[in-house]
Chain A
């Protein structure tokens, strides 16, 4: 029996090593795809005047939906900043999702809200809407007050009353650059097969803000904040970019994304009560839209940037990662028929299996692997040589990939003007592989366990707020 156990431990170590080799190699391939995609995008953008759509009047009308739950403290400055977006035809729909604070009253008072009758007409069903308000002096602002039904339900209520061609979903505490609507909506102008577009999310901790806009880009002062800067770079600069070239994007950020309204209605809107509603809807769009239109696409705009506050406290970070993991599991399990289904091309044959193996089950394999590895070392089951190779592969690949994402950032966006910021990101790109990555994997394992034992609630995300200049 002991021999059998030893044999299992020994074999698992090898399995774990190959697992790391495989995931690292996939990321390297993905980084090449991302680089080629980014190069193509920036070549195109260099001689593309996006504002030409204003001249030729072929822009799409946009409804910008802001779901708000207990956002009383910052909602006014957020809406005021959103109202200043450079775009000729957009409306903002703030959906108060049964807040228990003063969100609704603050909105009503500050924007001269006047109640209008609710139309007896629904494209998507939602929790009961209490009232709809138009705002005197703000032609393009609508406030919706509804019974609490969660983020997905609040977005659906916004979609339901929207009369525009595109739906942009923005978190109430997200900060958009002034030309974000123009950038994120442009792909729809050139391609009607695009069903959704995701923007890039960056960490705003350490940046300076004035009147709802970033005025000075900086790095967070905390270790956790800096780790997340590098982590987000990796996810957006080459994760999303690489997958876009395979039409394999499985998630657009819930903090900032854009959808063709008819596509979102065709698939039935966001899934009410779903934790990972931003991922679930994209996977569902792939599944349903490709049946009627095989050319249907999910796209990504790397320079439509939304800044958001990242947790700088381990407990909140843990809650966030557990929630993300539960969202991933829900989305993948609900649409398991995509798995290895050739009808969905690269998505079904490569991206979906990759997500199941490395995103859903991956954290379990990883954390279990670390435990087994430590036991093996203590019991002397694996040789010192193996241990050296194992650590080399596990950390080596991670470091290289994190460094590459910082390099891609420098070659393309150059958002961080100070060289010291760049070098600091480099240091944190190395350090994040020595504890932070393992910590987030552990959180995801806890998330997985909680999911299968029925704890599927959101968890509270406390935010510190930004520094105002």
Chain B
């Protein structure tokens, strides 16, 4: 009877040993495979680095180089080119990008983009942006229908690299379809387009009703300091009741530094919402010109401490008069809030400017 139990225990131990052995073998094989892959990448780079640099700095045609590299090594070529493509600029980047145009590398990527493996598909979409021809743009736009977020994001990145601004609506649509609109998500995609996106977004200002979308659009316009949007934006900010839209619009005014917008800022400085007042003070401080000096100084007596601090910060740079008043206040020997704030801002400025 006892022997019978021993057999069970030995069997269990044997199974455990088998599993452990399997895991160890699996682990070692994995390590060998990954190491081999890395060695192959290094071997490729050692063998082809000079040829690629020679191509880069000579009159050589792309096909002359690509045709010499076996198709089985393209995966290593992509691995090698990735960092160069990220870091090179101007003619060097153009020359390197031509390796993808009208060479067998393009066909390789198009085929890979059709793969069922998301990893391969994603890699192909990432590199196809360097091909830059209409057929590829059409192919890439098809991937915008993908429900997979990784594929969608990589496709948008490739198309934004190519500055294909007609996909902007699709980006908004993608985020509007989510449980909650993701402002930062949309922003992180739109920020990659160049300034030519601005007229399109400006036109959208009149048509888009969603406050989240308006918020994103104004952020991008501010990012590019696109002053031409001001006429369309002013009525929106005046009539909008949405705090974030108003604040973002005020920040936009500060960024484009348009002296004509001072009256608009005066209007918002008169409002009681602290966050709006803070944004308006900061924008006024950026624009300068001194016209709002009295209002900014008066904001030091606001009930809200954030507004007071913003006003003191603005006073330190706004005009010689406001600066003098802040300095005078900071020299007073009092425990009054305004005096403490003035002292803090003055000392902060002296330490940071001496740095």
Contact = CB atoms under 8 A, between A and B. Distances in A.
A314 interface: no
A384 B7 CA distance: 12
B16 A49 contact: no
B78 to A, nearest CB: 10
A399 B20 contact: yes
A43 B118 contact: yes
Contacts of B150: 40, 43-44
B185 A191 contact: yes
B241 to A, nearest CB: 19
Interface stretch (B134-142, B165-173, B174-182): B174-182
B327 interface: no
Contacts of A44: 150, 153
B27 A426 contact: yes
A114 B20 CA distance: 60
B30 A423 contact: no
User: Secondary structure at chain A's binding surface: helix, strand, loop or mixed?
Assistant: helix
Interface string B109-144: 000000000110011001000000000000000000
Contacts of B153: 44
B34 A414 contact: yes
A462 B23 CA distance: 37
A43 B86 contact: no
A47 interface: yes
Contacts of A193: 180, 182
B123 A46 contact: yes
Interface stretch (A96-104, A224-232, A298-306, A403-411): A403-411
B23 A396 contact: no
Interface residues of A, number: 50
Interface stretch (B228-236, B250-258, B295-303, B335-343): B335-343
Interface string A138-156: 1100000000000000000
A388 B223 contact: no
A407 B24 CA distance: 9
A136 B28 contact: no
Contacts of A400: 19
B14 to A, nearest CB: 12
A420 B184 CA distance: 45
Interface in A249-305: 293-295
B25 to A, nearest CB: 11
Given A294-B179, A422-B27, 9 more contacts: A44-B153, A46-B122, A114-B351, A136-B351, A136-B355, A190-B182, A191-B184, A388-B12, A406-B27
Interface of A: 40, 43-44, 46-47, 49, 52, 56-58, 114, 116-121, 134, 136-139, 188-193, 293-295, 384-385, 388, 392, 396, 399-400, 403-404, 406-407, 410-411, 414, 419, 422-423, 426, 430
Interface of B: 2, 5, 8-9, 12, 16, 19-20, 23-24, 26-28, 30-31, 34, 82, 86, 118-119, 122-123, 126, 150, 153-154, 178-180, 182-185, 187-188, 191-192, 223, 305-306, 309, 337, 340-341, 343-344, 347-348, 351-352, 354-355
28 contacts: A56-B191, A58-B188, A114-B351, A116-B347, A117-B340, A117-B343, A118-B344, A134-B347, A138-B355, A188-B184, A189-B188, A190-B182, A190-B188, A192-B185, A294-B179, A295-B180, A295-B182, A384-B2, A392-B12, A396-B12, A399-B16, A403-B19, A403-B20, A407-B27, A410-B27, A411-B30, A422-B27, A426-B27
